[in-house]
Amino acid sequence: MLSFLSPNKIYINGGKRFLDVLVASLLIVVFSPIFILIAMLIRISSPGPVFYVQRRVGQGLFEFNFYKFRTMVVGADKVGPGVTSRTDSRITKIGAFLRLSKLDELPQLLNVLKGDMSLIGPRPELPKYIEYFSEQYRQILRVRPGITDFATIEFRDEEDILAQYDDVEAAYLKVVLPQKLKLYEKYINGMSFKSDLEISLRTLYKIFIR
């Protein structure tokens, strides 16, 4: 009986979601002026919508609408791979800055409020990439995907890594994603308040210190 009342089980079964909603709500309020500024810069710098909406795979392998600030030209997903390198010609000028600073990820706070995502968890992936590793993802996506996790920290410079290859999509599937899957498994096997706090602090360090 006591095992069901352990602090970690309480956190995973309810506390994590409570903190997600609380922190995401506070961050949206705090960052609302930045949201407005980024939206204005995107509209001024290139034609098209402010937000980019893409189908991603979430908990239980169900698809959902994934939000980001638009960092590429309109229709970029129809003329190139689903992953990008730093030198990708589809990226706009303001988009390059947003991607480098990770500010393009801010709209995912809305996904957190909706319940599609958590603040901390394995990153949601495109359906076509899920198909290559369906067995692993069936286990990984027992939990909500997140904005950041161990793989996000480890591959902070993913676009620079992919820039070394001629075929970025093949490199992502054969080199990057298999390593990410191991880090996703590491997270879900040791998921706790302590690990979430560690990831949060390491993410802030990567963004603001580096």
Q: Quote the pTM value.
A: 0.91
pLDDT digits (tens, 9 = 90+) for 165-180: 999 999 999 999 999 9
For residue range 78-119, what is the model confidence (pLDDT) as tens digits? 888 888 888 888 999 999 999 988 999 999 999 999 999 999
The three-class DSSP label of residue 192 is: coil
Percent of the chain exceeding pLDDT 70 equals: 97
State mean pLDDT over 38-55: 94
Contacts 24+ apart (CB under 8 A), 125-129: 125/56, 125/57, 125/177, 126/54, 126/55, 126/56, 126/57, 126/82, 127/55, 127/56, 127/57, 127/63, 128/82, 129/82, 129/172, 129/173, 129/177
Domain ranges of the chain: 2-209
Residue 188: C-alpha distances to residues 92, 99, 102, 178 (Å): 35, 26, 24, 16
- Report the percentage of the chain scoring pLDDT > 90: 80
Any residues with CB less than 8 A from the CB of 144 and at least 6 apart, and which? Answer: 58, 59, 115, 116, 117, 118, 121
Q: Which whole number is the average pLDDT over 193-198?
A: 95
**pLDDT band at 198; cut points 50, 70, 90:** very high
Q: What's the pLDDT score for residue 125?
A: 96
Give tens-digit pLDDT for 130-151. Answer: 999 999 999 999 999 999 999 9
Average pLDDT, rounded, for the chain: 92
Please determine, for residue 2, whether its predicted confidence score (pLDDT) is greater than 60.
no
Please check the confidence at residue 17 and state whether its pLDDT lies above 60: yes
